[in-house]
Amino acid sequence: MSVIDELFSSNPYSLSASRKNKLLVSELNELTSFHYSNCEPYNKILTNFGYKPKKRIKAIADFPFLPVRLFKTHKIQSIPDTEVLKVLTSSGTTSQVVSKIALNRETATYQVKALANIVTSFIGHKRYPMIIVDSDSILKNKSNLNARGAGLVGLSNFGRNHLYALDENMNLKKEELIAFAEKFGNEPVLIFGFTFMIWQYFLGECKKHGVNIKFPYGVLIHSGGWKKLIEISVSNKIFKSELSSYFWIDKIYNFYGMVEQVGSIYMECEHGYLHTPNYAEIIIRDYHDWSPLPHGKKGIIQTLSLLPRSYPGHSLLTEDIGHTVGTDNCRCGRKGTYFLVEGRIPKAEVRGCSDTHAESLTIFNQ
Amino acid sequence: MTNIEKLNAAFVEALDLDPNESIRDSYSYGDPKWDSVAHMALVVSIEAQFDIMMETDDVIDLSSFGKGKEILAKYGINF
């Protein structure tokens, strides 16, 4: 059994810092060297930054990282086109340029298994009747799923009797929803959707039309960023309390994740912190010199994941701001680093990233 | 219908396969017509055909026709 398969068969938050660190350093060395040998653009970037393939990297913070936006502008993959199973794209709601992530069978399988490993640790192994707060029209283009579609499909594995609660014009399917609640309202149900869609099209529309449905045994999982909700002053706390008081749902879990690293998601625990699973890590970096920051200090989030095998996305600098809170000592009992995301880098401050980006472009064009 | 015929029928219905061809054990997720979206339809179809409810891990592990037989054995359905 490979290291990663072993990880998928244990609790995703089981490793304490020293063991996890040892395992990640070893696996990330292998991944870095694999992508270095199999992805030409990555090879050029690393060579330029002085990477020596035979020299082992000793600390997690020392692994080279790529800015996520590189995947928006360049085709970066470590497998021949013939091995591409599918290409994931970002939703492209906030920017017109989308990331393109090429997956082979191995990476796609790891993504599904990691997601299952994490989500079942929160909700158990049974599949519950499920409401998906979205429209199934988004699944029409199967070979080129965007992040939203991939998220819906990925999460739908955890449910049964799926109800897509919105039609293609984002109107609430009121009758279907009421029928669903009558049939399943007194048992555990799973509700999944993107944060803003749940707020606007599910809670908002139910309130507006007086759709009085309750899910006292419900579990709600949501993701997709807070940008739009922050604009209308809705915090995570307000989000939770409003949903809980309207639908009687107590278990509400947000998660942080990105299309460039599907699968290794960061779930929010009962105490409101996002948790790194065994096969992923978070490092917060200083805006000015990229140095790693201690717990509590705000900076740019770098995410490391053992899942990407078909593209060099195992160490990425995101465009999100956050801070780590601690390691191994969250009150919820989960091991690993836990953290909070505070938002996106404001456009004016993206300069650092753009510089890195421009630098990489030069390397590409050599 | 025998169990193998039922499983075959579930695949044919969910994945829109040729009903006259018997499916090989090696037919896998990622092969033509079996993608992540079709996968949920396949699970629904198998559950209806055998009147069972699969656990999440089995839904995830269902990676080939042959694997499907192995998984169903756990639910007392033998081939």
pLDDT under 70: residue ranges of chain B: none
- Residue B30 forms contact with A (CB below 8 Å): yes
Place of tokens 């279907």: A176
Contact B56 A139 (CB under 8 A): no
Q: Per CATH, the architecture of A3-79+271-365 is what?
A: Roll (2.30)
With cut-offs at 50, 70 and 90, classify the pLDDT of residue A144: low
Residue A366 has pLDDT above 60, yes or no: no
Q: For residue A352, what pLDDT is reported?
A: 41
Q: Which residue has the higher pLDDT, A2 or A278?
A: A278
Q: Given A126, A142, A160, which is nearest B37 (Cβ)?
A: A142
User: Which of B27, B60, B63 would best serve as a mutation to test chain A binding (most A beta carbons within 10 A)?
Assistant: B60
Contact B57 A143 (CB under 8 A): no
Residue A133 has pLDDT above 80, yes or no: yes
Q: What is the C-alpha to C-alpha distance for residues B58 and B55, in angstroms, rounded to an integer?
A: 5
pLDDT tens for each residue of A188-233: 999 999 999 999 999 999 999 999 999 999 999 999 888 888 888 8
Per-domain boundaries in chain B: 3-73
Within 8 A of A119 by CB-CB distance, chain B residues are 56
- Residue B15 forms contact with A (CB below 8 Å): no
User: Which of B26, B35, B36, B40 would best serve as a mutation to test chain A binding (most A beta carbons within 10 A)?
Assistant: B36
Least confident of A7-16, A138-147, A276-285: A138-147
Q: Given B36, B43, B60, which is nearest A113 (Cβ)?
A: B60
- Residue B60 forms contact with A (CB below 8 Å): yes
pLDDT tens for each residue of A61-94: 999 999 998 998 888 999 999 999 888 888 655 5
Task: Say how many C-beta atoms besides its own lie within 10 A of residue A212's C-beta.
Answer: 11
Place of tokens 């000793």: A58
Residue A287 has pLDDT above 50, yes or no: yes
By CB atoms closer than 10 A (0-12, 13-18, 19+), residue A148 is buried
pTM for the model stands at: 0.90
Q: For residue A99, what pLDDT is reported?
A: 85
The answer to whether residues A316 and A260 touch, using CB atoms and an 8 Å cutoff, is: yes
Place of tokens 């690393």: A46
Q: Given A119, A153, A160, which is nearest B36 (Cβ)?
A: A153
Q: For residue A92, what pLDDT is reported?
A: 57
Per-domain boundaries in chain A: 3-79+271-365, 111-256
Q: Which residue has the higher pLDDT, A343 or A303?
A: A303
Q: For residue A96, what pLDDT is reported?
A: 64
Q: Given B30, B44, B56, which is nearest A120 (Cβ)?
A: B56
Residue A349 has pLDDT above 60, yes or no: no
Reference B5, options B63, B76, B58, B77; nearest CA is B77
Q: For residue A282, what pLDDT is reported?
A: 98
The ipTM estimated for the assembled molecules is: 0.86
Q: Per CATH, the architecture of A111-256 is what?
A: 3-Layer(aba) Sandwich (3.40)
The answer to whether residues A316 and A1 touch, using CB atoms and an 8 Å cutoff, is: no
Q: What is the C-alpha to C-alpha distance for residues A335 and B75, in angstroms, rounded to an integer?
A: 34
With cut-offs at 50, 70 and 90, classify the pLDDT of residue A142: low
With cut-offs at 50, 70 and 90, classify the pLDDT of residue A359: very low
pLDDT tens for each residue of B37-59: 899 999 999 999 999 999 999 99
| DSSP-derived secondary structure letter, B24 | P
Maximum pairwise Cα distance, chain A = 65
Least confident of A33-37, A267-271, A358-362, B66-70: A358-362
Residue A348 has pLDDT above 60, yes or no: no
Residue A120 has pLDDT above 90, yes or no: yes
Residue A361 has pLDDT above 50, yes or no: no
Q: Which value, to the nearest 10 degrees, does the dihedral of the CA atoms of residues A29, A35, A37, A43 take?
A: -100
The answer to whether residues A221 and A255 touch, using CB atoms and an 8 Å cutoff, is: yes
- Count Cβ neighbours within 10 Å for each residue of A324-348 and write b for 16 or more, e otherwise: bbebbebeeebbbbbbbbeebbeee
State the nearest Cα–Cα gap between A268 and chain B, in angstroms.
Answer: 21
pLDDT tens for each residue of A236-245: 999 999 999 9
B3-73: CATH topology is 1.10.1200
- Residue B48 forms contact with A (CB below 8 Å): no
Alpha helices in A232-350 (DSSP H): 236-247
Q: What is the C-alpha to C-alpha distance for residues A145 and A113, in angstroms, rounded to an integer?
A: 19
Residue A365 has pLDDT above 70, yes or no: no
